[in-house]
């Protein structure tokens, strides 16, 4: 880890690359999730694959967790360093005059997303782990869709998810485009890339919100 943090530029590159990786994961996650609305069988099939494929379980999943941790820990280190770089703060500081709220408050949107991840892990990941490795329940390729829909039955959870997705959107709004700048990609092509990242930052969380609301409104009746 020390090599990664040896210079300010290396640190931001780490933030950018881990962020880009998470963005990629988000896209993949969304692709699977949207099938829960349009093709429940596919959803079950893919979820089962993800849950039992050894490559996914023992390689990709740890990488993902590492990615989240690196992104979070590094973000936190950066925030602390950055606060220390201005020991006496301004009596009057007009941040809104020269930078967007999102870009200045990545730590807030990030922490909310992190808090959401805790809930999300509790809801799905812990559930999966205990199902598979604690309770040693049998494989059931058909259970995923029902379990997912069931989660969105209580309104509080649906609302929490929606709020978190809004914050995620804000986080992506700055973060996705910013990661290109961090790895040194800012030139005539970025004119095209920037709108695409913004589109992604809005559409993907909106999609997740749609899924949450859809399942909330269409509970499985037993």
Interface residues with other proteins (CB under 8 A) are: 7-13, 78, 81-82, 84-95, 97-100, 103-104, 106, 174, 178, 181-187
**Which of 198, 52, 217 shows the shortest CA–CA distance to 137?**
52
Interatomic CA distance for residues 17 and 29, integer angstroms: 18
Q: Going by C-beta distance under 8 Å and a sequence separation of 6 or more, which residues neighbour residue 37?
A: 210, 211, 214, 215
Q: In angstroms, what is the minimal distance from the CB of 70 to other proteins?
A: 15
Q: In angstroms, what is the minimal distance from the CB of 82 to other proteins?
A: 4
Q: In angstroms, what is the minimal distance from the CB of 115 to other proteins?
A: 21
Helix 8-38 to helix 144-151 angle (10° resolution) is 110
Tokens of 82: 């950055």
Choice between 113 and 212, CB closer to other proteins? 113
Decide: 25 and 56 in contact? Cβ < 8 Å: no
Choice between 104 and 127, CB closer to other proteins? 104
Choice between 86 and 222, CB closer to other proteins? 86
Choice between 85 and 192, CB closer to other proteins? 85
């Amino acid at each position: 880890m020390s090599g990664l943090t040896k210079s300010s530029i290396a640190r931001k590159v780490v933030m950018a690359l881990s962020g880009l990786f998470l963005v990629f994961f988000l896209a993949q996650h969304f692709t699977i999730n949207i099938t829960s609305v349009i093709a429940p069988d596919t959803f079950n099939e893919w979820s089962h694959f993800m849950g039992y494929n050894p490559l996914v379980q023992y390689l990709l999943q740890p990488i993902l967790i590492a990615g989240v941790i690196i992104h979070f820990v590094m973000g936190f280190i950066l925030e602390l360093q950055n606060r220390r770089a201005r020991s006496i703060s301004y009596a009057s500081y007009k941040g809104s005059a020269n930078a967007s709220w999102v870009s200045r408050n990545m730590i807030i949107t990030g922490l909310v997303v992190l808090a959401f991840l805790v809930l999300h892990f509790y809801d799905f990941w812990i559930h999966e782990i205990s199902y598979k490795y604690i309770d040693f329940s049998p494989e059931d390729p058909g259970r995923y869709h029902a379990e997912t829909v069931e989660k969105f039955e209580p309104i509080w959870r649906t609302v929490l998810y929606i709020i978190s997705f809004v914050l995620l959107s804000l986080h992506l709004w700055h973060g996705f485009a910013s990661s290109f700048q961090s790895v040194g990609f800012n030139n005539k092509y970025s004119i095209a890339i920037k709108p695409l990242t913004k589109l992604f930052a809005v559409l993907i969380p909106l999609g997740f919100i749609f899924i949450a609301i859809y399942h909330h409104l269409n509970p499985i009746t037993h």
